[in-house]
Structure 1
Amino acid sequence: MMIQKSTLLLFLLFCYNGISQQLISKKIASDFLNETRQLKIYLPEGYSSDDTKNYPLAVVLDVGYLFDLYVANAVLFAKKDLAPKQIIVGVTIKNTLEKDTYFNINNGSLTNSNKNFYQFIRNEVIFEIENNYKTSPFITIIGEGTAANLITNFLGEKTPFINAYICINPSFSNFIGGQVQNFNLPRFQKEDNTFYYYTNNSNRFSDQKQAIIQNLQLGLASLEIPNFHPINDTIITKSSTAAISEAIPRALSKIFEIYAAISKEEFDKNIKDLSPIDAITYLENKYLDIEYLFGSNLGIREVDIFAVEKIIIEKENGDQLLNFGRMILKLFPTSPLGDYYIGRYYEEGKNLKKALKYYKIGYGKMDPADPNSDAFYENILRVGGR
């Protein structure tokens, strides 16, 4: 256990040293708050104002520690290719939480000070970042305690523009269930977008707090909205503080599930029973969504190509190999795999001249030092020798 803790500490120190080189402190004068607030801005590794790449935006309502925890987790997830790199903004919250993020305990509504802070986030912070940094359309907002209650109010926006809500150890008002019901969440299905709402319960909360969160989670679970995904979590831990460090990675793993390579769970749930043409469409849409939402043009991961390969080859006599190859070339034109599948389609149809042509094109894209190049060249020898 001591070795594990030491390894984790070294990782966090490594992250901190690297992250500190990419942090910007910026003051923003707020018309809504009638004062100046400090922003902490993390720009991901490789960020450059000169290139065309865009990044999802995460807004962290920071109480002194949440920003650092979120950034460290976001960096780790990006390094593991489980989430896109993000631009992350930490917004300073006043020590008197009542002024910024609390609510009227008599009816659960936001006070005038809360409304001003809400508008500050909505119209000044997000506007400032989107106008000065290269952001993609995907926005995440993160809050803990009463800040989680505040960000839930963004669900009531006439046109929803926040994609993911991460409510950690939420201190909701007693009226949160009715408030969320009044937001009419089924209207979200009319939006051409995807939404996630994370909440965690915990055994360390009071019975009353657990009951409020549980009732909200049960209500969200009963909804059947295709593009709105409630993530109802329960964290068993020795302290509510420890729950914070668990909640962030658990939320990220679900919110950015579409970004990650196809897992066995995703394959079994969404792909294995598809027809070849539907499997091709699923894979193409996955990468188009990644590019649109997260600004990440990944091409296409070879591991995902291989994940659906068996369906394409074994079902319908391999008749969709041509479409499979064309789809790969469309999303990842520099990969030899698209040419390989097209070549295989023509080879199985006994059109050896065309098969040889595409095998040669694919081989020409490969680095001679690639350990797979010799195996690929065997396709040329096999077809060319007939």
Structure 2
Amino acid sequence: MKKIILLLLCILCSLSASAQILYEEFNSSKLGETRKLKIQLPRNYDTNTEKVYPIVVVLDADYLFEPVAGNVDYFSYWEDMPESIVVGIMQGDTRYEDCNYDDSNFLPADKGADFFEFIGLELIPYIDNNYRTAKFVIAVGHDFTANFINYYLFKDPPLFNGYISLSPDLAPMMEERLPERIPSVESKIFYYLATGTDDIKGLMEISEELNGKLKELKSDQFNFYYDNFEGATHYSLVGRGIPNALEKIFSVYRPISKKEYKEVLMKMDEPVHTYLNEKYATIKNLFGLSNPIRTNDFIATATAAEKKSQWESLREIATMAKKQYPDANIGDYYMGRYYEETGDPKKAMRTYQGAFDKEEVDFITVDLMLDKADKIKEDFGY
């Protein structure tokens, strides 16, 4: 298992080489010192000048940056998450001072308080001002730094939208404070917690205790995920937790899957085109991204509409596809199918014929369109 994880990390790190890596030194007035940053920009960042990107802030970047950046690049390549800017804070021997908290109230103190303000008041504004960012930020931490990112949940509103907490070494009272605080947070929060059966015993036990409390919270705004990896140690769980966290946090962003088609589209009572509208509205509201609807998602919802004989819904999908992809034949195909099924074969034939010179999409070829037009012509004698 360890060899498999190491091989996966090597592959992910080589993939991240395709993205642009920048090394910067940030002079922090809050810390009174310079901090080294490692920043991965998405592929084609320089050419997609109108595009904005979520931010993934990585603490303990000395060893966490590469596995996070590699996974982000890999997942975004396959459209399982949006392309994102990964910002790593190099900490090295300062991580213990950075995460320092007061012995009486267990809140950031001394260097820990300075580091807290450095991230919130200096680093994030700097990234926003110098790069094209969307208003969705995730923080990643491991043991001490995993505990530290929790403090940002007590800001109003919280600094981060997503929290990836890998085997946290929680400060005293944190396992009580988090369940008390989260129900009062008005913004949508994604929280991922991971441990392993071979993790440090005290850390595994406290993660299990926190899981027991967080999973009981009832809130539409709080999305909680937990993994306890069989056989994973304090360090190997990181390689398994990061991809799981990204997959779960960005589940709504992914193209419609076979499972989603069967368990959601085919079982919903509402017209299926409403699911398409709601999916992309959610992507926009959550991640600040105005993405075009994927052709895969048009095909999935249109197929469901056909199977369920929702012809008006199919017309809506065809209209959206024609507007989204005017030079492709996908909208014309489904509009032709709508006309066929609603008793207007002549319009269907002309719609198929009119798209013969448009770009083909998936199975919708020129030959398919012309064959359907010829069959209508033969059947009705046009």
* TM above 0.5: yes
User: For residues 42-191 of structure 1, what are the structure 2 equivalents within 5 Å?
Assistant: 42-48=40-46, 51-183=49-181, 185-188=182-185, 190-191=186-187
Match of 1:315 in 2: 308
- After superposition, the Cα gap between the structure-2 partners of 1:74 and 1:50, relative to the gap in structure 1 and judged at 3 Å, is closer
User: For residues 238-277 of structure 1, what are the structure 2 equivalents within 5 Å?
Assistant: 238-275=232-269, 277=271
| 8 A Cα contact 1:275 1:311, kept in partner | no
Match of 1:348 in 2: 341
Deviation at 1:29, TM superposition (A): 1.8
| 8 A Cα contact 2:328 2:360, kept in partner | no
Deviation at 1:145, TM superposition (A): 1.1
Q: Deviations over 1:304-356 (max 9, x none)?
A: 33333343123356342212212333444444222222222122222234323
Deviation at 1:164, TM superposition (A): 0.9
Matched, 1:288 2:286: no
Deviation at 1:42, TM superposition (A): 0.8
Q: Deviations over 1:240-290 (max 9, x none)?
A: 11111111111111111112122244334433311351x211112223333
| 8 A Cα contact 2:318 2:331, kept in partner | yes
| 8 A Cα contact 2:16 2:73, kept in partner | no
Letter in 1 for 2:25: K
| 8 A Cα contact 1:136 1:293, kept in partner | no
Match of 2:210 in 1: 216
Structure 1 window deviating more from structure 2 (292-301 vs 237-246): it is: 292-301
Give me the whole-angstrom Cα distance separating, in 2, the residues matched to 1:5 and 1:50.
33
| 8 A Cα contact 2:196 2:232, kept in partner | no
Q: Deviations over 1:78-123 (max 9, x none)?
A: 2222222111111122513332013235543221321211111111
Identity of aligned residues (%): 29
Give me the whole-angstrom Cα distance separating, in 1, the residues matched to 2:336 and 2:238.
52
Deviation at 1:224, TM superposition (A): 1.9
| 8 A Cα contact 2:62 2:92, kept in partner | no
Deviation at 1:358, TM superposition (A): 2.9
Match of 1:234 in 2: 228
Match of 1:11 in 2: 11
Give me the whole-angstrom Cα distance separating, in 2, the residues matched to 1:151 and 1:5.
26
- After superposition, the Cα gap between the structure-2 partners of 1:116 and 1:2, relative to the gap in structure 1 and judged at 3 Å, is closer
Give me the whole-angstrom Cα distance separating, in 2, the residues matched to 1:243 and 1:52.
37
Q: TM-score, normalised by structure 2?
A: 0.88
Structure 1 window deviating more from structure 2 (96-105 vs 30-39): it is: 96-105
Give me the whole-angstrom Cα distance separating, in 1, the residues matched to 2:279 and 2:109.
42
Deviation at 1:59, TM superposition (A): 0.7
Give me the whole-angstrom Cα distance separating, in 2, the residues matched to 1:352 and 1:98.
73
- After superposition, the Cα gap between the structure-2 partners of 1:281 and 1:227, relative to the gap in structure 1 and judged at 3 Å, is farther
- After superposition, the Cα gap between the structure-2 partners of 1:369 and 1:286, relative to the gap in structure 1 and judged at 3 Å, is closer
Letter in 1 for 2:137: I
- After superposition, the Cα gap between the structure-2 partners of 1:56 and 1:363, relative to the gap in structure 1 and judged at 3 Å, is farther
- After superposition, the Cα gap between the structure-2 partners of 1:256 and 1:96, relative to the gap in structure 1 and judged at 3 Å, is same
| 8 A Cα contact 1:42 1:71, kept in partner | yes
Letter in 2 for 1:252: L
| 8 A Cα contact 1:58 1:86, kept in partner | yes
Please state whether the residue corresponding to 1:308 is helix, strand or coil: helix
- After superposition, the Cα gap between the structure-2 partners of 1:175 and 1:265, relative to the gap in structure 1 and judged at 3 Å, is farther
Q: Deviations over 1:7-56 (max 9, x none)?
A: 6476256336434xx11111222121122211111111111166201111
- After superposition, the Cα gap between the structure-2 partners of 1:12 and 1:177, relative to the gap in structure 1 and judged at 3 Å, is closer
| 8 A Cα contact 1:49 1:134, kept in partner | no
Give me the whole-angstrom Cα distance separating, in 2, the residues matched to 1:265 and 1:353.
36
- After superposition, the Cα gap between the structure-2 partners of 1:299 and 1:165, relative to the gap in structure 1 and judged at 3 Å, is same
Structure 1: unaligned runs, 5 residues or longer: none
Give me the whole-angstrom Cα distance separating, in 1, the residues matched to 2:362 and 2:211.
54
| 8 A Cα contact 1:94 1:100, kept in partner | no
User: Aligned pairs, how many?
Assistant: 379
Give me the whole-angstrom Cα distance separating, in 2, the residues matched to 1:359 and 1:285.
29
Letter in 1 for 2:26: I
Deviation at 1:58, TM superposition (A): 0.7
Give me the whole-angstrom Cα distance separating, in 2, the residues matched to 1:272 and 1:143.
39
Letter in 1 for 2:249: I
Q: Deviations over 1:182-239 (max 9, x none)?
A: 42x2234x43xx4210111222234432232112111111112123211111122352
Please state whether the residue corresponding to 1:68 is helix, strand or coil: helix
Matched, 1:36 2:34: yes
